[in-house]
Structure 1
Amino acid sequence: MTKRQKIWDVVFPLVFIWLCMAAVTVVLLLVTGLIVGEYDPEKIYDRVRTLPMWISIAAFGLTLLLQKNNYRVDSMRFPMRDGGWKAWQMVCGCLCVTFAGHVWSSLITGSGLERVFTGYTQNAAPAFENQNLLLLILGTVILGPAAEEMIFRGMLFRRAAYYAGMRKGILLSAFCFGIYHGNVIQFLYAFLLGFLLAFVYERSGDLRAAVAAHMSVNAWAVFGDRLIRKTFHGSVPVSCLAAEAAACVTCFLLLYFRGKQKNA
């Protein structure tokens, strides 16, 4: 296989989920426009607030359906070591990624970068506001993590690690995961999560561990952060973030050194 073929083999999963999302968006915008008698996308989104969730649900479902066979083939082409994770390691993986995501998100928000790079606050964030709870859970907490882990860790990361080595594979998959989210703020957030999710997958050898961690961090982002801010009157206490950071580092080190001992 030539270098160009290897590069295409690695980036194809990213291209596929992008195209899938674009195709579903166009189709549902057209169908919704015909139903409501409106053809301006912004006005359609204003009139049908749940449309972004329906687009996500349809795109993720279609991705899972169309790529499941390729994922199975990749499982044989690029075998992963079996980390044989126990229940406590699965819990540590979920806590590590969840707390890291919340602390990192809070730091990004507090840094003022959202006022400089406004793509997220103007376009992405409003899509999750005032959404139907069941659709939000289905699209963001269930189908999204399952589809994205299959694409970015189960396929893209495995291919990149096989061709370029484990470290480069983790970094490349994290970079592509960030690019996939489409704006600077989400890139910064998703890059760190992509790195940790690839770490969880590499250590466990089980995509279910990465899916569980991804579901956990998304559920916390949607519900946990709101609960904390409501409890503390709109802000997240520094002590809370410090406790989460300490728990995250502890879980990461436990998984890291446990993996090294097993390898030795």
Structure 2
Amino acid sequence: MKRVIKLLIYYLAYTFGIGWLFYGGYMIAHRTLEMPPVTDPAFFNLSVWAQLLATLAVGIHLLVWGYVRSDDLKLNFPNAGKVMLVAAVFIVGMGFWTNYLTELTRLPDNLKAVFEMSMNHPAGIVSIVFLAPVVEELLLRGAIQGHLMRIWKNPAWAIVLSSLIFGLMHGNPVQIFFAFLTGVALGWMYCRTGSLLPGMLMHFINNGSSVLLYHLSGGSDETMAESLGTYGAAGLALAGVALTVLCVWLVKARLVPRQMTWHAAAGTEKNKEENELTL
């Protein structure tokens, strides 16, 4: 767990450190000690660029310091092409029923205005659609979950913990629930294949489709029930459940019948972690 805590500290240090460099510059330029609201156009523009650079810095740190295995970024599992195709269908199916459940929970969306502004900002779109899928998979699945699966007997606990962290990192009640469920699917794919690429593809499709649908709808915030009707929304959710079950079965029973072996040799991971603590 020391490594998990250390990685989260790195993540927070980059996020707040780079953010405050930008915010400090803004406050000096405007000769004020008061933080403006995030929705202030000039301040928001700085925030978006700060977040993009912080995310990029986290990804570079993980790769340079070797927190992610080189094999994690390869298509070195059976039926790789078919698995990637199934992964794409998998996340679409999940989107149908997880969005439906999220709407039923009626959890507050405290960051709605911020995300809408991000989806209308070029740097925000790059960060949401491209950088987040890559860096979050490197951090949550590759560096954290992969490490825990090599030192814990039951990989399911590693998937659950990394998914909880994934949900909490979003900091928005309505996203925490959705992100946790999505994280479990991403974590399972990584556990099964030993590669981060299926999860990165799924993450890209999930985030990209959200941005695309937002722009196609003209920024409308209609729920599934409002746009499809009560029975239409429920039917689509059930179809999504069926697709999800089918994709899990295809991967587990047909495409990757033998799961990746995760347990490291006795003492290897412990010694590696002790060495990393000196970095």
Q: TM-score, normalised by structure 2?
A: 0.77
Instruction: Check the 8 A contact 2:82/2:255 in 1, yes or no.
Output: no
Instruction: Check the 8 A contact 1:24/1:55 in 2, yes or no.
Output: yes
1:12, distance to aligned residue in structure 2 (A): 2.2
Seen in structure 2, the aligned counterparts of structure 1 residues 211 and 260 have a Cα distance that, compared at 3 Å, is: closer
Seen in structure 2, the aligned counterparts of structure 1 residues 248 and 225 have a Cα distance that, compared at 3 Å, is: farther
Task: Tell me the SS of whatever aligns to 1:84.
Answer: coil
- CA distance in 1: counterparts of 2:71 and 2:193, whole angstroms: 18
| Matched residue count | 248
1:152, distance to aligned residue in structure 2 (A): 0.6
- Partner of residue 139, structure 1: 127
Instruction: Check the 8 A contact 2:164/2:180 in 1, yes or no.
Output: yes
- CA distance in 2: counterparts of 1:255 and 1:65, whole angstroms: 31
1:207, distance to aligned residue in structure 2 (A): 1.5
1:183, distance to aligned residue in structure 2 (A): 3.8
Aligned-partner residue type, residue 240 of structure 2: E
Instruction: Check the 8 A contact 2:87/2:247 in 1, yes or no.
Output: yes
Alignment of 1:202 onto 2:198: no
- Partner of residue 21, structure 2: 27
Seen in structure 2, the aligned counterparts of structure 1 residues 75 and 39 have a Cα distance that, compared at 3 Å, is: same
The aligned runs of 1:237-248 (5 Å cut-off) are 237=228, 238=233, 239-248=235-244
Structure (1 or 2) with the greater helix fraction = 1
Seen in structure 2, the aligned counterparts of structure 1 residues 43 and 261 have a Cα distance that, compared at 3 Å, is: closer
1:88, distance to aligned residue in structure 2 (A): 2.2
1:244, distance to aligned residue in structure 2 (A): 3.0
Seen in structure 2, the aligned counterparts of structure 1 residues 76 and 191 have a Cα distance that, compared at 3 Å, is: same
- Partner of residue 213, structure 2: 224
1:10, distance to aligned residue in structure 2 (A): 2.7
1:164, distance to aligned residue in structure 2 (A): 1.1
The aligned runs of 1:163-242 (5 Å cut-off) are 163-165=151-153, 166-224=155-213, 227=216, 234-236=222-224, 237=228, 238=233, 239-242=235-238
1:186-217 deviation per Cα after TM superposition (whole angstroms, max 9, x unaligned): 22111111111111112222222211111111
Instruction: Check the 8 A contact 1:103/1:241 in 2, yes or no.
Output: yes
Q: Mind listing any 5+ residue stretches in structure 2 that lack a counterpart?
A: 260-279
Seen in structure 2, the aligned counterparts of structure 1 residues 155 and 133 have a Cα distance that, compared at 3 Å, is: same
1:105-155 deviation per Cα after TM superposition (whole angstroms, max 9, x unaligned): 3321232222xxxxxx23x22211134342232110111111111111111
Instruction: Check the 8 A contact 1:178/1:187 in 2, yes or no.
Output: yes
Q: Mind listing any 5+ residue stretches in structure 1 that lack a counterpart?
A: 1-6, 115-120
- CA distance in 2: counterparts of 1:76 and 1:91, whole angstroms: 22
Alignment of 1:51 onto 2:46: yes
- Partner of residue 110, structure 1: 104
Q: TM-score, normalised by structure 1?
A: 0.80
- CA distance in 2: counterparts of 1:232 and 1:39, whole angstroms: 36
- CA distance in 1: counterparts of 2:219 and 2:192, whole angstroms: 36
Aligned-partner residue type, residue 150 of structure 2: Y
- CA distance in 2: counterparts of 1:226 and 1:258, whole angstroms: 38
- Partner of residue 95, structure 1: 89
1:61, distance to aligned residue in structure 2 (A): 0.9
1:43, distance to aligned residue in structure 2 (A): 3.3
1:219, distance to aligned residue in structure 2 (A): 0.8
- CA distance in 2: counterparts of 1:205 and 1:77, whole angstroms: 8
- CA distance in 1: counterparts of 2:167 and 2:161, whole angstroms: 10
Q: CA RMSD in A?
A: 3.0
- CA distance in 1: counterparts of 2:185 and 2:95, whole angstroms: 10
